[in-house]
Structure 1
């Protein structure tokens, strides 16, 4: 039996306490005992004047948006509950997605290259007793969060932005003409408040109430030195059948401090699901077989653990004017991905231009702001994929069912080529690729999954799939639509541009 606490204690910091804290939060979610604060209050009194155009809460990813808006001349206040500093673990992304920093003028080409800590090729997709596929240039870039955030922080401040570090938001008051952010011993007012505080934002929690997530991704892992092979990566891999009513998946990639390995699985939030501590024990038990290395050979640098909830009722529609959730706070990420950095970067250009237009024409009520987080059928269709990779607690499922299905799907996509395979691996679902793939997957692997999904889920998926086709068609006519714009007022253009963005991103056209 591996001594989990001894291994966790081998790295700096309080990894044991961090794991216990994350496990308590996972327990509270399963048992629905999370305290919902009355965090946002509405006040009918007018503010008359405000200090900033936008207050952004949550600096780790909020700095991306704050720097972009400040450089365009808007008055931005950024709140961060601790020190605004990136974590030590790299953020993985594909190179073409990083061009957003260049297009928005946030980084020079030299700065972007300096932000890249690691780059590797190729990466593997493999399933137990199934296919093994190798791809290049997909999620193979490791960005240094410390360098990136410090660079953006300095540019934000140089452009006139205001940063309040070590400032935890304690209350938000929404007024007819603005919003007030209240923290211990200080407060600020703005026309718009942007919530970038992530999955566990108190604003998002209050908006969702006691709603339970339909899907959860549990993740544990580490970065360590001592691996005999560290030139390639795994995007998704499995080498076991279904265990403990879960299919275990692995991810691995070279890191500046060694090699990062994750164990993750897709579950629901039922009470009897296992704990993160148990999952960490499984990680230590299986890691030697996965990487062909003894634990005694490894020098652990840090550990990673957490869970990522996903709600079918997404993106989040808050009941308040002048509050816009972005990134993981909005729940707009795919239920099969972790969200975070990659999802934020993908939408950074869209959000920057959309928020700027909203401020210009004062489109700051809840109905106008919800268009900045539109329905995206290419994300909605992935709920069925998430369901096929998870196992209900009370259902008996053949141990190889998920591996066989995943292997069959990826074998088809590999035959169809990179235009089909690579977008899917980057969590971008496109109608032509999906339409080519589905009929070619062997029905003997698909049909056993359908009863587990259920008719309501299948009907819902069909609706999103058809909408994906509609959005794809509408997006293909972007140029003919441009003539309409000249006939619209600035206010009307705001709404028109949001529809164009919805069609583009909702069809996966942003990857093109």
Structure 2
């Protein structure tokens, strides 16, 4: 019996079975054997009637936008394949970001405080042989998903929303005047909030392999002697199995959550999640300075998150918009679906509201709601520099040495540079300062990046870096330019301004 089998057998809920189901999907993804679904169709004739303004498919993150849209007065129905409820494991986020729920009128201040399960400071950034860096108020708040989703669910229903549970999405037919989901639910617009493996997204991508994957395993356990602070990213081992291992740790209501994650490609010879879990249990005692037999494991956590350079995803169908994890709008570094959804919640709510008011529901108009964002695209090079190809040669400490150097320079530049980056917000001036200082102080390390990531990846990155500067300038100009426009033109202009703001990281307000 492996160490993973031994430990997971003691955790309620048969997590080993679930792990092996996810592993089978990971294997099918690597071997390109996942069938491409055919769930989206079109019809040239109008629907006889349209019952709803919006139908949302997928409730876990869909309820966030659903509650915001009923608050705007729209008729919304939401379908969820199971019962709409949150998981036991907290969602970690920065406290200031949660004010979005108050600003949108979805939660009272008291309800928001009740949704917070844990708060702690500081969080640490640590790499082998480098000095530890400590920062405050970054991903230091654990939200109770059970409470949060229940409150949003109640708000949604009390404000006229319609919830259909235990109803999986089957298909959608697009008509000139609306969509018909599961042959019975008609609406003007469909929002796809079904996550990474949404059948709509799978059909749109036509079986394309992801450009990168993040594998994650972890547990929540009781018995840790130190549980007052967290680790945002930590590494203490060299490259092994053609991967660099990274760790996260956060205090939780019922113990301490620790994750092991790594960035890699979807090569068919990559190892399984169960293999990664074996390494997790072997390395956890050294990471947290505690023996396994001193811990009582409460939950097992595991998954893999594919990402594509062609993101956010622009669907080529009218009247369907991908949101949340379906859209791929989260960073290829953090894969923070909840955090990304909260960050874009106001933008999406206002944009969808305007689209419905001005009947801007064709694919080209909706694609403006998931625009190209250069501040996300530049992070692709960072992910690439933190991963190793299956047949690529790299010195064992290459990635750790690079990260030690980069984060040391960011720390010297101060929190205005360090904290936005740690919250997945890349801005042109802080990025330029970091690159310049790192290049001057560590030219040898920088030169190693070029053969590691490849010249074409570097040239592609330079284009996104240039666009980051352009978007920053355009957003600054747009603040002083209010052209007189028709409602249709105003919709397009507002989406451009949103793209420039979020694509340059100027939505960051000093969280």
TM-score interval (norm. to shorter): over 0.9
Distance of 1:174 and 1:17 partners within structure 2: 38
Write out aligned runs for 1:18-417 (5 A).
18-182=18-182, 187-417=184-414
Any idea what SS the aligned residue of 1:420 has?
helix
Contact persistence 1:2–1:284 (CA under 8 A) = no
Q: How many residues are aligned here?
A: 506
State the 1:339 CA deviation: 2.7
Alpha carbon RMSD of aligned pairs, Å? 0.9
Cα deviation digits, residues 103-133 of structure 1 (max 9, x gap): 1000111111000000000110000112310
Any idea what SS the aligned residue of 2:392 has?
coil
Contact persistence 2:93–2:339 (CA under 8 A) = yes
Any idea what SS the aligned residue of 1:324 has?
strand
State the 1:2 CA deviation: 5.2
Distance of 1:337 and 1:479 partners within structure 2: 30
State the 1:477 CA deviation: 2.6
Cα deviation digits, residues 386-427 of structure 1 (max 9, x gap): 000000110111000000000100000000000000000001
Cα deviation digits, residues 16-49 of structure 1 (max 9, x gap): 1110011011001100000111111111121032
Asked if 1:3 is matched to 2:17, the reply is no
Contact persistence 2:192–2:326 (CA under 8 A) = yes
Distance of 2:14 and 2:193 partners within structure 1: 26
Any idea what SS the aligned residue of 1:59 has?
coil
Any idea what SS the aligned residue of 2:305 has?
strand
Any idea what SS the aligned residue of 2:364 has?
helix
Any idea what SS the aligned residue of 2:60 has?
helix
Distance of 1:223 and 1:320 partners within structure 2: 42
Contact persistence 1:64–1:152 (CA under 8 A) = yes
Any idea what SS the aligned residue of 1:156 has?
helix
Any idea what SS the aligned residue of 1:173 has?
strand
Look up the match of 1:500. 497
Any idea what SS the aligned residue of 2:480 has?
helix
Deviates more, 1:314-323 or 1:404-413: 314-323
State the 1:336 CA deviation: 0.7
State the 1:171 CA deviation: 0.9
Asked if 1:14 is matched to 2:11, the reply is no
Distance of 2:162 and 2:468 partners within structure 1: 41
State the 1:333 CA deviation: 1.3
State the 1:3 CA deviation: 2.7
State the 1:249 CA deviation: 0.1
Distance of 2:465 and 2:412 partners within structure 1: 22
Any idea what SS the aligned residue of 1:300 has?
strand
Distance of 1:418 and 1:2 partners within structure 2: 44
Contact persistence 1:48–1:177 (CA under 8 A) = no
Write out aligned runs for 1:413-452 (5 A).
413-441=410-438, 442-452=442-452
State the 1:446 CA deviation: 1.4
Distance of 2:472 and 2:42 partners within structure 1: 39
Cα deviation digits, residues 455-505 of structure 1 (max 9, x gap): 211111000001000111111233312x21xx1111111001000100100
Contact persistence 2:86–2:149 (CA under 8 A) = yes
Contact persistence 1:327–1:339 (CA under 8 A) = no
State the 1:188 CA deviation: 0.3
Distance of 2:10 and 2:472 partners within structure 1: 51
Task: Specify every segment of 5 or more residues in structure 1 that has no aligned partner in the other structure, as ranges.
Answer: none
Distance of 1:394 and 1:380 partners within structure 2: 25
Distance of 2:262 and 2:49 partners within structure 1: 49
Contact persistence 2:427–2:468 (CA under 8 A) = yes
Any idea what SS the aligned residue of 1:395 has?
coil
